[in-house]
Structure 1
Amino acid sequence: MNLHPIRLVILLCFALLLNGKTQAQLTANADAVLPTEYSSGPQDQMYFFCSSPGENPASLTAAFSGGGGATFDWFKYNPASGTFDAYVSDNSGATSSTLTILPDGGYRVNVTSGGITETYTAWVFNNWYTATAEISETTCDYFQVQAVFEGVSLVYYDLGTGSPKEIFKDVKVRWTVGGDQVATVLSPQIFNPPPRNTDYLLTVYDRLGCEVQVPLNYQSIVTKASFTASPMSGETPLQVAFTSTSENADQYEWFFFRDLDEMKLEAEQTGSVSDSIMDRAIDANPVYVYQNSGTYGVKLVTTKNSEFGACTDTVYLDDYLVADSSFVEAPNVFTPNGDGDNDLFVVKYRSLKQISIKIFNRWGKEVFAWENNNVQSFDASVAESVWDGKIGGRLASPGVYYYVVEARGRDDKKRNAHGFVHLFREK
């Protein structure tokens, strides 16, 4: 008798059902699923449930492949005998049977409906970890973490040979701060510790999706020095405000260096610099006045005191402060005609200690004079320092006048200037 190929397939499937050898699987809402690796024969599913010690969230659900009510006879694998022992029976006639709070092991169920028995086998595992962590040593340069973890070994058995097979979980660790990874070893040595109290998080995890997390708080004993300076340049006397933006500091020590060119000259002449420090301060936010022209560096050292000692940090100003060199400049023409434009003869200067301004007419008679032996800064609003084109309250005649400026800069250099200035009154 010749059978149609489709009918042959149907008959073979029906025969398998009758013999209880269907390959349908038990189901479970597990965190991970892997197949067994028996030495031979069909493979079963292994279901992994993430848990805590003493908890058994593992569960299995069986149902008849054809639907409808059935009876369920459950068995549990016995490693000692290599057989499945009766575990529990469910004769309620329900369409499915679920076992919960299952301990680790292999489970088999015979599902019978309408005289047909289907047999399913699966393994379940309650997978967990515990961990602890503490700081065992802390210094200004690093702190040492000591951490340990414990996890459960997961073992199933080859149903063909009865030999145990341990499941490779590929356990790993990572340390993070704010989500950023900082280490991948269990007990790291953290160098350059942060200058603030910081929460670290240890995560122990595996390829099965299970993990345990342990927080660790680092109480900082270090400081981070930083500061700003404003302004960075200007005429002497140059007043500069220094503002500390340091973290975790108890003490501040500022070092104001001498003029860079001055130190270079000393090194060239003597072969060394006797002392690079011009001044010191211990305020958190000092204000320093540079009396002399030059190019200056600044250093800040902060200190954090704790039971473990004193930790310091040092930072230098990114760029040099520039106190302008002395300078004198006079115009060669002015027009005191009352139109508000160029009405005054103004000698511009900067970074001076002393200045004397004199103006003479063509016959050598002095028509204007002003001097200052304690110059603080250029200020054209001081009426006495500028010539308004009048002599004795009367308008000076248009023409050529001669000016003489004698000054000494805060760099201690003479800054003299002389020349002719033309006075015009036409609008």
Structure 2
Amino acid sequence: MFSNVAFSQITAAKASFRTLTNYTTTVNDSLYVFCDNIGTGIGELKAASNDGTSGWNFTWTKWDSGTSDFTIPVSVENNQGESTLTNLSNGLYRVVVEKGSESYTDQAWVLNNSNTKPSTLVVLNCVGVNIRSSFTPNSLQYTNIDSKALVNVLSENDIVFWLQRNSENEFQKATYVGGEVSFFDLEAFEGESTYSIRVIDQYGCVFISDNVSTVTYKVEAAFSVDPMTGEAPLEVQFTNKSVNAEDFEWFIYQDYDRIVDAVSVEDSLLVDGIITDEDPLAYTYIHPGNYFVKLIASSNKGPETCFEEFNFKTEGTPIVVDTSLVQVPNVFTPNGDGRNDVFRVKSQSLKSFHAVLLNRWGRVVYEWRNPDEGWNGKVNGKWATPGTYYYVITATGREEQKKKYTKKGSFMLIRK
């Protein structure tokens, strides 16, 4: 009888980790680690004949530290091609495979890796949900059969913690370096979320904590704007999309250019903070300009008031309110039929207005300062010649007195 490492008889398909022993003088054995979550011993070894035929006898024994030999009988199976042992406890097992004058021997360690579940502790604050977990990894040992000393089973694998939320796999990951592992879920959500900790230890075994359900105090302030652009007066609706908030305060600011000169927050606001549950909130911008809005959402669900700001100036593009001077007609037909007989500019919210019309030679044909007036198509009491004319219109906004608007373009005078 002899040990033939080149023709290893023992395999362990269900093992999570395999390594070799480090004996003093004896040839090293395979060592298999099994993930034993219920702590009953689940080791499983399989031996097979080298030639793949039946008719072989398999004799299993277990090493006895007291006799320093394989004196503990385990199992005998005759006239087989393979033999499998299940539900094995920790220890070193040997199999002798015999057929006629042929005989092979192999041996391997079984170590069952049992552990308690990782612990979880939930701490809530305005930042989010803090899940803390602790876990003490096992340090498995085998016996050096030469010296009888216990030897630690070493592994270069990291111990990895996963935080799972609502059964989502691999939500957050952390490498264990000893002590407590801490996770932060910084997302605001309504209702409860369920968390668990999944630990993969150095031997590849998975241990999962009990589920823990919790709310969050975290607040997310958010809203959408419709429309983003338009002509004054422009009614804009702000749809509140905040999460986990109860109270809301809206701040509607003046045009960017005016805020630069503001000496206080109040000076930069068009209106004082609006506290309302109205959704959507509507506001009409009377004057042209570029505007931003801030929403402060808050909640008193926890021991402290949690709040968050959403500033539309930094989080998105500004609300652009154009002057209605863009509504300059490109055609007018002064023929006395009562339709489109006067060239008028649609304008609103203006402090001053000045329009000049020129013919193609640059000569002024009409000029007016009252935006409600317009040109009837006559020059010195006579009908103007049909063709292309040009306009230059300047205006000052009613509020933005330092901001001047200038529109230049052409239009067609058609007489039918």
Calculate the TM-score normalised by the size of structure 1: 0.71
Using the aligned pairs only, state the percent identity. Answer: 29
Equivalent-residue separation in structure 1 for 2:26 and 2:87 (angstroms): 29
Question: Conserved in 1, the CA contact under 8 Å of 2:118 and 2:199?
Answer: no
- The number of residues matched between the two structures is 373
Alpha-carbon offset, residue 310 of structure 1: 2.5
Alpha-carbon offset, residue 313 of structure 1: 0.7
Q: What whole-Å deviation, never above 9, does each CA across 1:208-233 have from its counterpart, x for those lacking one?
A: 33212335545222111112222233
Given candidates 205, 208, 211, the residue that maps to 1:213 is: 208
Please list, as runs of the form range in 1=range in 2, the aligned pairs for 1:258-407 lying within 5 A after superposition.
258-267=254-263, 275-279=267-271, 280-281=273-274, 282=276, 283-317=278-312, 318-325=316-323, 327=325, 334-337=332-335, 343-352=340-349, 398-399=383-384
Equivalent-residue separation in structure 1 for 2:44 and 2:265 (angstroms): 81
Please list, as runs of the form range in 1=range in 2, the aligned pairs for 1:121-200 lying within 5 A after superposition.
121-169=107-155, 170=157, 172-176=159-163, 178=168, 179-185=170-176, 187-191=180-184, 193-196=186-189, 197-200=192-195
Q: CA RMSD in A?
A: 4.4
The 3 A distance-change label for structure 1 pair 76 and 351 is same
Q: What whole-Å deviation, never above 9, does each CA across 1:116-139 have from its counterpart, x for those lacking one?
A: 443321111222343234334211
The 3 A distance-change label for structure 1 pair 137 and 335 is closer
Question: Conserved in 2, the CA contact under 8 Å of 1:20 and 1:116?
Answer: no
Structure 1 runs not aligned, ≥5 long: 1-18, 358-369, 373-384, 391-395
Q: What whole-Å deviation, never above 9, does each CA across 1:216-268 have from its counterpart, x for those lacking one?
A: 5452221111122222333322211111222222222111123333343354x
Equivalent-residue separation in structure 1 for 2:137 and 2:414 (angstroms): 99
Which moved further from structure 2: 326-335 or 309-318? 326-335
Letter in 2 for 1:411: E
Alpha-carbon offset, residue 316 of structure 1: 0.6
| Secondary structure at the counterpart of residue 349 of structure 1 | coil
Letter in 2 for 1:225: A
Letter in 1 for 2:232: T
Equivalent residue, structure 1, for 2:36: 51
Structure 2 runs not aligned, ≥5 long: 355-369, 386-392
Question: Conserved in 2, the CA contact under 8 Å of 1:328 and 1:347?
Answer: no
Larger radius of gyration: 1
Letter in 1 for 2:88: L
Equivalent-residue separation in structure 1 for 2:299 and 2:335 (angstroms): 66
Given candidates 253, 258, 261, the residue that maps to 1:257 is: 253
Q: What whole-Å deviation, never above 9, does each CA across 1:358-403 have from its counterpart, x for those lacking one?
A: xxxxxxxxxxxx987xxxxxxxxxxxx777779xxxxx96259xxx
Question: Conserved in 1, the CA contact under 8 Å of 2:62 and 2:74?
Answer: no
Alpha-carbon offset, residue 203 of structure 1: 2.4
The 3 A distance-change label for structure 1 pair 42 and 339 is farther
Calculate the TM-score normalised by the size of structure 2: 0.73
Letter in 2 for 1:320: P
Question: Conserved in 1, the CA contact under 8 Å of 2:34 and 2:112?
Answer: yes
Please list, as runs of the form range in 1=range in 2, the aligned pairs for 1:226-245 lying within 5 A after superposition.
226-245=222-241
Equivalent residue, structure 2, for 1:20: 2
Equivalent residue, structure 1, for 2:218: 222
The 3 A distance-change label for structure 1 pair 101 and 81 is same
Equivalent residue, structure 1, for 2:91: 105
Alpha-carbon offset, residue 161 of structure 1: 2.1
